[in-house]
């Protein structure tokens, strides 16, 4: 009987267990209740009493071996089956769930358009820091110390240090450019600016400007006018009217403010603020920025020879331009992030 046990042990060990059918045959033949191993257990009672104990132990070992082989192979087969079918079959008839697409913010759209217009006529794009020192935001731009012109721009100072402030305009970037580059300089500088102002439909404490600077030999006021005229026609259409009003800025001489007709093509007819007239104040014109010839003092402050070079500069409000372009009546909409407003710009740009 001992030989028989050995023989079965070898059979169990060598049994080819690859297909589910083979596994089932193996189970019936060896592990099942009517299998050979169960038979041998039955025959145990016929064995000589002194051999029974040792034989019983051998038989138990054989039984455990056969059972564990079976269990291992069954587990493998089960894994292979579920791996192959882990995902339920796709239902190709299900309706498509549309992706929720975001939209580009209108100010971003307009900024991109401004950049595109100026790049085509040879301007590059520059940026500067939003936290500025007094020199770049004021002094280099010809704002005398303690001069009331500084009060025109209600400044947010950082940590009570009068030398560190949130920039009140992008003109500070002009200074940084002229300090580090040699003419010819032809650049626009879009960016966020900050002013301590009461929030209304027309004003916010943070908004965006785009600064422009052209410094070279023989740059004239006519160049400034033509450049800005080109810009407004590209931005708002060929019949757009603009007007320049004499003005004052410490860093330009002469200086001019630039208006654009808010009826766009018919001055006097305000399509933007309509009856409320809260944007154009009933005049039909909206100011979009300041401009002028760079003051020789500013050129000299930045190390540029004012005998040799002249330049023009301008600064425009991107919110204003966006309001005119998309007929937006209240600039608080730009910062409220109301998706009903933002969704209207889907697919633009």
Interface contacts to ligand DAH, rule CB under 6 A: 169, 171, 211, 249, 252, 289-292, 313-315
CA 129, 146, 310, 180 dihedral sign is: negative
State the nearest-atom distance from the C-beta of 252 to ligand DAH, in Å: 4
State the nearest-atom distance from the C-beta of 172 to ligand DAH, in Å: 9
Nearer CB in complex with ligand DAH: 63/150: 150
Nearer CB in complex with ligand DAH: 128/292: 292
The answer to whether the beta carbons of residues 289 and 316 sit under 8 Å apart is yes
Tokens of 52: 């029974």
Closest by CA position to 149, among listed 229, 252, 280: 252
State the nearest-atom distance from the C-beta of 92 to ligand DAH, in Å: 59
| Edge-to-edge order in the sheet of strand 206-216 | 124-125, 185-194, 206-216, 310-317, 285-294, 252-261, 242-249
Nearer CB in complex with ligand DAH: 258/270: 258
Nearer CB in complex with ligand DAH: 142/171: 171
Nearer CB in complex with ligand DAH: 40/168: 168
**252 phi/psi in degrees, rounded to 5:** -135, 150
Nearer CB in complex with ligand DAH: 128/289: 289
Q: How far is CA 259 from CA 82, 245, 326, in A?
A: 72, 8, 17
State the nearest-atom distance from the C-beta of 180 to ligand DAH, in Å: 18
Nearer CB in complex with ligand DAH: 106/290: 290
State the nearest-atom distance from the C-beta of 197 to ligand DAH, in Å: 12
The answer to whether the beta carbons of residues 114 and 235 sit under 8 Å apart is yes
Token pair 């731009």: residue: 141
State the nearest-atom distance from the C-beta of 339 to ligand DAH, in Å: 31
* Contacts (Cβ under 8 Å, ≥6 apart) of 115: 125, 188, 190
Burial 141-153 (b: 16+ CB within 10 A, else e): bbbeeeeeebeeb
Nearer CB in complex with ligand DAH: 37/302: 302
Token pair 């023009």: residue: 312
The Cα 266–Cα 118 span in angstroms is 26
State the nearest-atom distance from the C-beta of 133 to ligand DAH, in Å: 16
C-alpha dihedral (255, 260, 261, 262), degrees to nearest 10? -130
State the nearest-atom distance from the C-beta of 134 to ligand DAH, in Å: 15
Nearer CB in complex with ligand DAH: 37/210: 210
The answer to whether the beta carbons of residues 32 and 85 sit under 8 Å apart is no
């Amino acid at each position: 009987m001992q030989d028989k046990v050995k023989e079965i042990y070898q059979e169990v060990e060598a049994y080819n267990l690859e297909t589910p059918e083979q596994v089932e045959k193996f189970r019936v033949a060896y592990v099942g209740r009517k299998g050979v191993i169960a038979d041998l257990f039955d025959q145990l009672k016929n064995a000589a009493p002194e051999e029974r104990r040792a034989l019983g132990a051998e038989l138990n070992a054989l039984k455990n071996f056969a059972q564990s082989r079976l269990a291992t192979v069954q587990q493998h087969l089960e894994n292979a089956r579920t791996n192959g079918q882990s995902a339920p079959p796709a239902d190709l008839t299900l309706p498509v769930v549309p992706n929720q697409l975001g939209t580009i913010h209108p100010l971003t759209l307009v900024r991109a358009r401004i950049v595109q217009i100026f790049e085509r006529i040879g301007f590059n794009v520059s940026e500067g820091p939003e936290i500025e020192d007094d020199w770049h935001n004021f002094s280099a731009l010809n704002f005398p110390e303690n001069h009331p012109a500084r009060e025109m721009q209600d400044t947010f100072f950082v940590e009570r240090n009068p030398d560190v402030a949130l920039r009140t305009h992008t003109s500070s970037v002009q200074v940084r450019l002229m300090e580090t580059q040699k003419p010819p300089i032809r650049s626009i500088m879009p960016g966020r600016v900050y002013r301590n102002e009461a929030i209304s439909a027309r004003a916010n404490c943070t908004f965006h400007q785009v600064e422009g600077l052209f410094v070279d030999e023989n740059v004239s006021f006519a160049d400034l006018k033509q450049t800005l005229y080109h810009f407004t026609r590209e931005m708002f259409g060929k019949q757009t009217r603009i007007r320049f009003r004499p003005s004052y800025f410490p860093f330009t001489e002469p200086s001019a403010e630039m208006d654009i007709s808010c009826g766009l093509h018919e001055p006097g007819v305000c399509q933007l603020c309509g009856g409320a007239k809260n944007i154009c104040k009933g005049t039909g014109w909206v100011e979009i920025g300041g401009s002028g010839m760079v003051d020789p003092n500013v050129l000299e402050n930045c190390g540029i020879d004012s005998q040799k070079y002249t330049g023009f500069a301008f600064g425009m409000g991107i919110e204003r331009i966006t309001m005119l372009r998309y007929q937006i009546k209240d600039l608080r909409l730009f910062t409220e992030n109301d998706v009903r407003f933002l969704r209207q710009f889907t697919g633009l740009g």
